[in-house]
Amino acid sequence: MQNDDVNFKGIVVFLGILAATMVAAYGAITVMSRHLEENARRADENAARQSPPASVAATQPYFPAPREQPNPLVDLQALRASEEAELNSYGWIDKSTGVVRIPIDRAIDLLTQPPKEHP
C-alpha cells in the first residue's frame, strides 16, 4: 500500500469537532431565543397591567386604531392607474411659468429626433 498525504483520522476528528460545535451553537441559540421570548412575553403582560400616565391619559383618552390598508391590491392598482394616466396625458405642471406635461411616448419621439437646423 502506498503512503498517502491524506490523514483520514485528522479529517474524521475535524468533522466530529465541527459537528459538536454546530450542535452546541444550535443549542445556545435555542436557549437564548426562548429566554428572549419569555422576557418579551413578561414585558407585554406588565405593560398591559399598567395604566398610562395621567399626562398621556389626559391628552389621549383612547388608544388610536391601527391604520391598516384594508385592500392593498386595490390601492396599488389605483396608484398604477393614476401614474399611467399621468404618463400618457397632457397637463399643466406650473401654469404661471408655462411648464407643461406631455405623454411619455411623445417626449421620447421629440428627444430622439435629430435637431433641426435654422437658416
One digit per residue, pLDDT tens: the chain, 119 residues?
A: 566 788 889 999 999 999 999 999 999 999 999 999 999 999 988 888 887 777 766 776 666 677 788 888 999 999 999 999 999 999 999 999 999 999 999 999 999 988 887 66
Largest CA distance in the chain: 95
C-alpha grid cell, residue 70 = 384594508
| pTM score, whole prediction | 0.39
Beta strands in the chain (DSSP E): 91-94, 99-101
- HSE-up of 81 (CA within 13 Å, CB side)? 6
